[in-house]
Structures are given as C-alpha cells and as structure tokens.
Amino acid sequence: AEAQLRQSQKMEAVGQLTGGIAHDFNNMLTGIMGALDIIKRRLASGRLEGLDRFMDAATGSAQRAAGLTHRLLAFSRRQPLDQKPVDVRQLITDMRDLFDRSLSEQIELLIRPAPDCWAATTDLNQLENALLNLAINARDAMPDGGQLSVDTRNVTLAPGDVPSLSRRGQETQDFVAITVRDTGTGMSAEILEKVFEPFFTTKPIGQGTGLGLSMVYGFAQQSGGGVEIESKLGQGTAITLYLPRSLADSTPDIPDGALVPAGAG
C-alpha cells in the first residue's frame, strides 16, 4: 500500500511538472518569437543597427529550450548502466579540473579520496555526471563563496544502517561512500522533503530544471546503492552517494612473483 501511495504521489508530481515544463518551454518560445518579430520589422524598415542583440536573444532562448529538451530526454531514457569496476579515487582526482572550471574563484575545493578507497561497481560516465551535478548545486548554494569538499569512505553496512539504501538480502554489504559537502545555504525541511522529485527546483526559470538530484537518485538506486542528504539551514549540505564495492580490485591471494602479466616473457 505504501508503494502504491508513493506511486500515485509520483504520478501527481509528474502531472504538475508537465504543466511546469510546458510553461517554461512556452516562455522560451515566446522569447524567440518576440525577437524574430522585431528582427522582421527592423529588416522591413531597413533599421539594421543593433539587430544582433535580438538575434542573440533568440539564439539564447533557443539554446535554453534545447538544453531543457536534452535533459528531459536524458531523464526519460534512463539508459541501462554500463557497470564496470571504477577506481573512485582516480576518478575524483581526475575530476579536479572539471570541478574547478564549474566553480567560482571564491569557492575552495578540497578533493580528499581515502588512500585505501575501494573500487565501486558502477557506470563511470554517469557517476561523473552525478558528481558534477552535486558540485554545481553546491556552487549555486554558495553565491558568496565557501568550501566544497569531496571525500570518500569505505563502509560496511548492515540492513537498515542507511534507510534510503536499496538493499537485497540480510547480509552486510560493502559500499564506497562519496560525500560532496558544501558550506552553503542549506535546505529547509520542506525543501529537503522534495529534492528528489523530478522537476522540483527553487531556481529561476532557465537556471534550474529540477532534474539534477532526481537523476542522481535514480542512478544511485540503479547502481544498487543509494543517496543520503544531510542539510542544515544556513550551514550547508552534505550529499553522500553509496555505491556497491567492486571486488575486482582485491588482490588475489597469490604469492609475489607468481602473477605473470599477459604478454610478458
């Protein structure tokens, strides 16, 4: 019954949203048509100076609309994950540049993977995407600057330890936990309740789609893990992704020297 209730709440949210999207999309089209109309009249009367301003406005609106459909498609497609062992320590170290470019100068970036970080079984591209989404949300929550940190922990969880985690069976299971923490605005209880709903956003039209966290959530669940959020209004937010440990990284119990690399000798 609870699952049913959740399903019907979801459908209601989808209905509200569709309306919201149509509204946003309409605004973008209105912008394009308005600009085109001005361009047409200016062309007819030969007033060409300053025309590029309207051309840029039309292009900008069209780009925002394209961005919105792109994200909607990516969201509805929900491609199957390409699950492989991912070296999480390596991945987040390699993402430093990407993070840096997405942040403002007033944000201090700390990337601190655990030295003994386990590998995770997940989709490398989608994990990268999810982390970038979290970093951008963190940036938006710190308009006056602050600190963004990315840490990892190896955790062994028993069922119920992290309630939001999708868990099969009763055994304990190993996870790689990746926490993205900011010192930003934090969220109120009302906002916190809704953040995973697709299309829920508190950002202005054109800036937020409300798809970021619902995609992160779907991805983590599909990976066999989950997401946990801790947030304090005025203090900041920590979002932790739990991804199942890959055993592919564990060194087999073979004495030194017994492993001969392929192609060697």
Binding site for ligand ADP (CB under 6 A): 133, 137-138, 141, 182, 184-185, 187, 191, 195, 200-203, 208-214, 237
Question: Rounded to whole angstroms, how far apart are CA atoms 165 and 243?
Answer: 10
CB-wise, 173 or 201, nearer to ligand ADP? 201
Indicate the pairing of strand 84-86 with strand 107-112.
Answer: unpaired
Question: Rounded to whole angstroms, how far apart are CA atoms 152 and 240?
Answer: 9
CB-wise, 167 or 181, nearer to ligand ADP? 181
> What's the token pair of residue 102?
């997405």
> Minimum CB separation from ligand ADP for residue 139, in Å?
9
Query: CA nearest 119: which of 253, 221, 245?
Result: 245
> Minimum CB separation from ligand ADP for residue 196, in Å?
7
> Minimum CB separation from ligand ADP for residue 197, in Å?
8
CB-wise, 122 or 201, nearer to ligand ADP? 201
> Minimum CB separation from ligand ADP for residue 91, in Å?
20
Describe the chain by its helix, strand, coil percentages, rounded to 5.
45, 20, 35
CB-wise, 96 or 203, nearer to ligand ADP? 203
Instruction: Using the structure block, give the residue that is written with the tokens 């959530």.
Output: 217
Residue nearest to ligand ADP (CB): 212
CB-wise, 13 or 157, nearer to ligand ADP? 13
Answer positive or negative: Cα dihedral of 53, 54, 56, 60: positive
